[in-house]
Amino acid sequence: MKRYDGIKNIMKYITAEIVVANIGFPSRELYDINDRNRNFYMLGSMGLASSIGLGLALSQKEKVIILDGDGSILMNLGSLVTIANQNPDNLILIVIDNCVYGSTGNQPTYCRNTDLLKIAKSMGFKNSYDFNEIDFNDSLTKNQENSVFIHYRVSPGNVDVGIIDLSPKIIKNRFMKSI
């Protein structure tokens, strides 16, 4: 199963939640699957989806779902420490791990020798899970006391979806108006 179907599996449970999507194909695939005003398609800033999601979670009460990638979270591991310590109870960080920098040509990341779930646990995430071992809808809907980290292993590969035909300004403005 590739990232596209992984995002589909996640989005079928999303109702009013805020979704922050990683740069590149994750955002493009999300746009193709379920474009909504409450999706923030992050452009350009590799590694910062988790940091942007944290800021959103700390500044308002609604649930924030972050769709990150293994390459991006490995590039900004400090963000995991900050999230685990700030620990907002309305944040769910999902790392869709395809073991590659998928958006730029499937160059391998260091995922093979690096267990992101163990890293999250050791950084202090009290609720850290493998997507395939939980009822995601349950994690999404029940009131958590802590931030949630979810590792979602998928196969490499992008689906040939179009680009996001919204300007960065429109993405930002419609997102801000919706929250």
Ligand X SMILES: Cc1ncc(C[n+]2csc(CCOP(=O)(O)OP(=O)(O)O)c2C)c(N)n1
- Residues in touch with ligand X (CB under 6 A): 3, 22-26, 44, 46, 69-72, 96, 98, 100-104, 109
Write down the least CB distance from residue 67 to ligand X, Å.
Answer: 9
Render 55-92 in DSSP notation, one character per residue: HHHHHSSS-EEEEEEHHHHHHTTHHHHHHHHH--TTEE
Write down the least CB distance from residue 48 to ligand X, Å.
Answer: 9
Write down the least CB distance from residue 5 to ligand X, Å.
Answer: 13
Determine how β-strand 127-130 pairs with β-strand 64-69. Answer: unpaired
Nearer to ligand X, 29 or 148 (CB): 29
Residue nearest to ligand X (CB): 69
The DSSP output letter for 168 is H
Of 55, 28, 54, nearest to 39 by C-alpha is 28
Nearer to ligand X, 62 or 110 (CB): 110
Nearer to ligand X, 44 or 162 (CB): 44
CA pair distance 17, 139, nearest whole angstrom? 13
Nearer to ligand X, 98 or 147 (CB): 98
